[in-house]
Structure 1
Amino acid sequence: MSKTKKRLPQWQQNLRILWFGCFMVGIGFSLITPFMSLYIDSLGKYTTTQLNLWSGVTFSSTFLVTAIVSPMWGKLADKKGRKLMLMRASLGMAIVIALMGLVTNVYQLVALRFLQGVFSGYISNSNALIATQTPVEHSGQALGTLTTGSVTGTLLGPLLGGIVATAFGYRVTFFITGSVLFLVFFLTVFGVHEKFTPIARDAQQSMRTLFSELKHPEVIIGMFVTTLIVQASNNSINPILSLYVRQLVGHTSSLNIISGVIASIPGIATLIAAPRFGALGDRIGTQKILFFGLLLGLLVYFPQAFVQNVWQLGILRFFVGIVDAALLPQVQTLLAKNAPHEVTGRIFSYNQSFQATGNVIGPMLGSVVSGGFGYSGVFISSTILVFINLIWVRFSTREIN
């Protein structure tokens, strides 16, 4: 009997490693959620208004830079290959996040968060690599699976961050995350393989020319804007989450863990629901799943403004995860199905730019609204954003219904 084990196709090997990489990058971006405002509070003496403001700035700074530099990295990826961009992003983030554990004031922390944005692009280039290297008949499934990695990492990160911060302190959390991202770098170097043929400079189309030749340019643009609004809605609560939980449960030694659990509950629902929504979308239409997710979002965000205890908040956050499962993977799938392979890097990088813009707007919106209208006002403003997104998706996908 042969002991030879059948080797997985290269695209499946890439998918496994990149799933883990995206999962860890998602954690790296989100593990600070339950304690960032508390970490900032430990770096100086601030009023409530100052603390809310600094929390918003710290959250948003990374994504502000990401929104600016993503198109540049996407263009370079189409010239030099996506693997090189993956290596750049993972190594850079490993160093920068580890350094965050050494800061002595909020200005240093904000500066490192800015620098973290420069080393963005791991998730967008993972999507681009999988979209171009995977057989067409498996691309939807592969992209859906890859998306669950980043989404789940982003949503479970706060739980891990809360647990590690409680057990070892805030600073050790950054050191551990940096170490794991070093592992992602080495796995990417030795485990990810890309068959890449550079496109000659004179053969590259401008984005304006490209969009004029797309069959459904309104779908691509629509998904960009949808990504922005989804991220703004999801992240508006991040700067004040631990403060909102503290308002519900009072001062307790378990605040970090409780905040982490509340922030991470959506990840459990997303991990369970996303593959099922992806398969259902293949049968009845991806855009229909997207529309359903937005309708459900209206029913989920608004009640969070009026919860009386942390259990009610936790239940509603679970349904937020189902909403995310119906939204984020479907956006990636629609982009992949409507973008030519030779410009996939740029398409996904532009989408990351819009995603980062949403990540900037969301925390800043949460900080400003919570300062003027209280924490409940943040959820009401998010509900308004979801309603706007619902109308926008209905308009932008009408040609493929």
Structure 2
Amino acid sequence: MLSTKRKEDARSDIPSAKGQMPLWKRNLIVCWVGMFATGIGMSQIAPILPLYITELGVTGDGMINQLSGIAFGVTFVVAAIFSPIWGSAADKYGRKPMLLRASLGMAVVVALMGFAPNVTVLILLRVLLGTISGYITACNTLIATQVDKGNAGFALGTLATSNVAGSLLGPIIGGFIGDTFGLPPVFFITGSFMFIAFLLTLFFVKENFVPPEKKNEKMKEVWKVIPEKRLTAVLCVTFFVIMLGLYSIEPIITIYIKDMTVDLTHLALISGLAFSASGVGNVISASWLGRISDRRGAHKVLLVSLITAGLFFIPQAFVHTPWELMGWRFLLGITLGGLTPAVITLVRKITPEAHVGRIFGFTMSAQYLGIFGGAVFGGQVSAAFGIPTVLLITGALMFIAAVWVYLFVFRRFHNKKEGLIADAV
């Protein structure tokens, strides 16, 4: 463990001069811009992925749905394996090196996808992407370890808006480029955005990192010093279920829109707008919900957001036009601003400072596994029963997650005044 002096030296949220902006705020601005560029780049791919798979020679809606789900999700299951490894490395060597590694590696691999000769190579490149990815996770870890706990919800909520704002513009840009110049250029431009994130990190992110005295702690040893083991595991399961539900529909929205419109001329652009609709709502709500979580409790925001998300998923199964779908996805996006930041904030509150990176790594593994499971689940169920069935099941899953959170998370944090939970230091 760090000595008291070393802990004070490691605190990078304290300004070095009176009146100077705290380091966490400066890094929040830089990470926001970097994650915004990353969000634009990565989200350009999602709506055109089924179209790109078709261009690579795959035929039949069922097969396209299944391969889209696999190609989209395989990145995340591999990332789930490597996330704890990179999280451990971040605790040992600092968060900035992880940001540089992830952004540069992703820039190269994503650009190579534009040269894929067939769907097999595309999927293999997405496997490699999962191996080296983690820029967004590293940003969250950096800010979470620098910000004071009274501003954690606001900081993480604001940071979440960056990726969402980028994701808002990305599908529209990707759809426009795909319609105008073809699909491979989308990957080249995405790689360029990732390289911009690398340059921003290299020159502007600052970190006063103090290496721990023990560099080779095994996970068993780390787990022993986690004060709330059961609650940490419960939050990881919660994150998994949330992502499973949210990403069951993401890879197949393009196919859903294709089934409800006769105008296929601008399919990629319309699909991009549908993707972006939830992003608009998320950007509007994330910082606001973060402030509420700081004042009222992230556990309350998480519970209410899950319930309202379930309510907004179900009507999407009965829409008849892309514009109706966009409206409901906008309302859904407002609720999504209270999910991921709330889980991350709760995990941070119960995790000791020296092990935030590693525990965040396992939390992100749960997220990635949920994304993979949701993508594959959505592809398989839609191929067998249709996309509306996926939306109905997803709505039900949000309600189940709300019950789970109430029983195992909400009541625990609500009873904090009785001393059942103590913030980690």
* TM-score scaled by length of structure 2: 0.88
Instruction: Measure how far apart 1:163 and its partner are.
Output: 2.2
- The aligned residue for residue 243 of structure 1 is 255
Aligned residue type for 1:382 = T
- Partner-residue secondary structure (3-state), 2:320: coil
Query: 1:2-401 maps to which residues of 2 (within 5 A)?
Result: 8-201=21-214, 204=217, 206-397=218-409, 398-401=411-414
CA contact (8 A) 2:310 2:397 kept: no
Distance 1:328 1:374, change over 3 A: same
Aligned residue type for 1:133 = Q
- The aligned residue for residue 10 of structure 2 is none
Once residues 43 and 233 of structure 2 are traced to their aligned partners in structure 1, the CA distance between those partners, rounded to angstroms, is 27
Distance 1:136 1:48, change over 3 A: closer
**Which deviates the most, 150-159 or 277-286?**
150-159
CA contact (8 A) 2:248 2:378 kept: yes
Instruction: Measure how far apart 1:133 and its partner are.
Output: 2.2
Query: Matched residues, percent identical?
Result: 41
Once residues 154 and 233 of structure 1 are traced to their aligned partners in structure 2, the CA distance between those partners, rounded to angstroms, is 18
Once residues 325 and 92 of structure 1 are traced to their aligned partners in structure 2, the CA distance between those partners, rounded to angstroms, is 28
Q: Give the aligned length.
A: 395
Instruction: Measure how far apart 1:155 and its partner are.
Output: 4.7
Query: Cα deviations across residues 171-228 of structure 1 (Å, max 9, x unaligned)?
Result: 1111111112111111111111111111133673x44454454443333222212221
- Partner-residue secondary structure (3-state), 1:102: coil
Aligned residue type for 2:384 = G
Query: Cα deviations across residues 42-80 of structure 1 (Å, max 9, x unaligned)?
Result: 111422222112111111111111011111111111111
CA contact (8 A) 1:218 1:396 kept: no
- Partner-residue secondary structure (3-state), 1:198: coil
Once residues 82 and 251 of structure 2 are traced to their aligned partners in structure 1, the CA distance between those partners, rounded to angstroms, is 24
Once residues 222 and 93 of structure 2 are traced to their aligned partners in structure 1, the CA distance between those partners, rounded to angstroms, is 20
Distance 1:395 1:217, change over 3 A: farther
- The aligned residue for residue 4 of structure 2 is none
- Partner-residue secondary structure (3-state), 1:249: coil
Once residues 240 and 23 of structure 2 are traced to their aligned partners in structure 1, the CA distance between those partners, rounded to angstroms, is 33
Once residues 161 and 139 of structure 1 are traced to their aligned partners in structure 2, the CA distance between those partners, rounded to angstroms, is 33
Once residues 304 and 150 of structure 2 are traced to their aligned partners in structure 1, the CA distance between those partners, rounded to angstroms, is 25
Once residues 22 and 234 of structure 2 are traced to their aligned partners in structure 1, the CA distance between those partners, rounded to angstroms, is 34
Distance 1:283 1:167, change over 3 A: same
**Which deviates the most, 287-296 or 164-173?**
164-173
Once residues 45 and 229 of structure 1 are traced to their aligned partners in structure 2, the CA distance between those partners, rounded to angstroms, is 31
Once residues 137 and 200 of structure 2 are traced to their aligned partners in structure 1, the CA distance between those partners, rounded to angstroms, is 17
Once residues 328 and 66 of structure 1 are traced to their aligned partners in structure 2, the CA distance between those partners, rounded to angstroms, is 17
- Partner-residue secondary structure (3-state), 1:272: helix
Aligned residue type for 1:218 = R
Structural RMSD (CA): 1.8
Distance 1:209 1:391, change over 3 A: farther
Aligned residue type for 1:270 = N
Instruction: Measure how far apart 1:289 and its partner are.
Output: 1.0
CA contact (8 A) 1:95 1:178 kept: yes
* Structure 1 unaligned regions, length at least 5: 1-5
Once residues 175 and 113 of structure 2 are traced to their aligned partners in structure 1, the CA distance between those partners, rounded to angstroms, is 16
CA contact (8 A) 1:156 1:265 kept: no
Instruction: Measure how far apart 1:370 and its partner are.
Output: 0.6
Query: Cα deviations across residues 321-371 of structure 1 (Å, max 9, x unaligned)?
Result: 012112121112112222111111012111111111011001101111011
Distance 1:17 1:255, change over 3 A: same
Once residues 365 and 374 of structure 1 are traced to their aligned partners in structure 2, the CA distance between those partners, rounded to angstroms, is 12
**Which deviates the most, 229-238 or 287-296?**
229-238
Instruction: Measure how far apart 1:111 and its partner are.
Output: 0.9
